[in-house]
């Protein structure tokens, strides 16, 4: 019986070109060999040079976003690719040998699942070097602890769990193409957190499965936006977009679960605005958090405290 084809769309931009060879090598070295790897670049010479040495491998194809927004180009390639399963991965990360195989195994075993994911280990790379050996490992920092991973292994993961805890990432997952065809791809209106936004929409209609394996080594470096830079406003916009534009997804997640997380996002954004000196916006965010979580003493206190301080300064 022929193994199903897996299509990996590897996101690659010029600032990350130095990481591409190590990342691509880790993908082509997977124990699961039936792959097509579409390196979706920005058309830069840096990415072309980084992929040049892999041209001999017929599984690799260099693609370009052209004049399209990057996420729209990714959606188009997901639609046209030949794989039964799709991965949208980052070219600054590294992929352990059995990552694809174990995800495919669980997806084949559970055809009702919309996707599967495994664990992620973070490692620091402040120098920008193309690390890939065991020499740079210290105590692993994982998305899921070893104990939690054992508890989740082989279980159905609901959209509520994915939504509440953000335990699933793009690089750690494979998505069934049927699920993509049902819910669509990335929403071009979402800049950061686009993977999570997509997973919430998929999870509203399909269950996920977790594989207890560290499949990805995620590189933390200065150019890694979501890991090192504040993105509180983007997190709020992501959830507001789900609420306002995808009412069925909002309903399936559940108002209580959804409002709890959005309230926390408003609160953290309020803290951020207050820290940066914008008390007007901070008060607005505290007010929104309080409106969603009326019985939260913390949110009420922050709103009343800041309101009092602002009024006191007027006299």
Report the pLDDT value the prediction gives residue 315, as an integer from 0 to 100.
59
The secondary structure of residue 57, as a DSSP letter, is S
> Left, alpha or beta for 173 (phi > 0: left; psi -120 to 50: alpha)?
beta
Tell me which long-range contacts 196-201 makes (C-beta under 8 A, separation of at least 24): 196/166, 196/168, 196/238, 197/238, 197/241, 197/242, 199/115, 199/162, 199/168, 199/173, 200/159, 200/162, 200/163, 200/242, 200/249, 200/253, 201/242, 201/246, 201/249
**pLDDT tens string 140-152:** 699 999 999 999 9
Average pLDDT of 157-169?
96
Lowest-confidence pick of 92-101, 106-115, 222-231: 222-231
Average pLDDT of 41-52?
95
Q: Which residue has the higher pLDDT, 157 or 306?
A: 157
Q: Does one domain contain both 193 and 291?
A: no
The number of domains in the chain is: 2
Q: How far apart are CA 203 and CA 94, in angstroms?
A: 26
Is 249 a member of any domain? no
Q: Does one domain contain both 224 and 265?
A: no
Q: How far apart are CA 282 and CA 275, in angstroms?
A: 9
Domain interval for residue 298: 254-312
Q: Does one domain contain both 93 and 221?
A: yes
Q: Does one domain contain both 186 and 295?
A: no
Average pLDDT of 62-90?
95
Q: Does one domain contain both 76 and 184?
A: yes
Q: Which residue has the higher pLDDT, 213 or 134?
A: 213
Is 282 a member of any domain? yes
**pLDDT tens string 196-249:** 999 999 999 999 999 999 999 999 877 665 544 457 899 999 999 999 999 999
Q: Does one domain contain both 157 and 204?
A: yes
Report the pLDDT value the prediction gives residue 102, as an integer from 0 to 100.
98
Q: Does one domain contain both 219 and 307?
A: no
Q: How far apart are CA 121 and CA 33, in angstroms?
A: 23
Q: Is 309 helix (H, G, I), strand (E, B) or coil?
A: helix
Is 240 a member of any domain? no
Please give the span between the terminal C-alpha atoms of the chain, in angstroms, as a whole number. Answer: 80
Is 213 in contact with 146 (CB distance < 8 Å)? no
Q: Which residues contact 54 (CB under 8 A, 6 or more apart)?
A: 21, 24, 28, 60
Q: How many residues does the chain have?
A: 315
Q: Looking at the predicted structure, is the pLDDT value of residue 124 above 90?
A: no
Q: Does one domain contain both 289 and 213?
A: no
**pLDDT tens string 259-306:** 999 999 999 999 999 999 999 999 999 999 999 998 899 999 988 888
Q: Does one domain contain both 216 and 271?
A: no
Q: Does one domain contain both 216 and 260?
A: no
Q: How far apart are CA 121 and CA 183, in angstroms?
A: 29
CATH of the domain at 222: 3.90.550.10
Is 35 in contact with 86 (CB distance < 8 Å)? no
Q: Does one domain contain both 218 and 308?
A: no
With a pLDDT cut of 70, the percent of the chain lying above it is 91
């Amino acid at each position: 019986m022929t193994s199903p084809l897996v299509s990996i769309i590897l996101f690659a931009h010029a600032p990350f070109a130095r990481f591409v060879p190590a990342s691509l090598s880790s993908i082509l070295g997977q124990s699961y060999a039936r792959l097509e790897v579409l390196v979706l670049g920005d058309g830069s010479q840096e990415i072309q040079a980084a992929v040049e040495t892999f041209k001999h491998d017929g599984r690799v194809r260099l693609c370009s976003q052209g004049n399209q927004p990057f996420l729209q180009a990714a959606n188009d390639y997901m639609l046209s690719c030949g794989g039964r399963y799709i991965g949208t991965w980052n070219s600054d990360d590294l992929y352990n040998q059995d990552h694809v195989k174990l995800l495919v195994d669980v997806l084949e075993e559970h055809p009702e699942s919309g996707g599967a994911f495994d664990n992620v280990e973070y490692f620091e790379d402040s120098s920008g070097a193309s690390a890939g050996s065991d020499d740079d490992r210290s105590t692993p920092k994982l998305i899921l602890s070893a104990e939690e991973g054992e508890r989740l292994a082989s279980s159905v993961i609901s959209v509520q769990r994915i939504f509440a805890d953000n335990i699933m990432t793009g690089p750690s997952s494979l998505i069934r193409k049927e699920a993509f065809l049902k819910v669509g791809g990335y929403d071009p209106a979402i800049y950061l957190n686009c993977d999570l936004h997509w997973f919430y929409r998929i999870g509203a209609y399909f269950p996920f499965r977790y594989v207890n394996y560290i499949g990805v080594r995620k590189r933390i470096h200065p150019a890694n936006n979501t890991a090192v830079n504040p993105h509180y406003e983007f997190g709020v916009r992501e959830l507001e977009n789900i609420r306002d534009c995808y009412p069925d997804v909002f309903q399936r997640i559940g108002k209580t679960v959804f409002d709890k997380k959005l309230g926390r996002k408003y609160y953290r954004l309020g803290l951020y605005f207050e820290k940066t000196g914008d008390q007007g916006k901070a008060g607005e965010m505290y007010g929104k958090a309080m409106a969603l979580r009326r019985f939260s003493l913390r949110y009420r206190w922050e709103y009343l405290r800041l309101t009092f301080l602002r009024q006191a300064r007027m006299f």
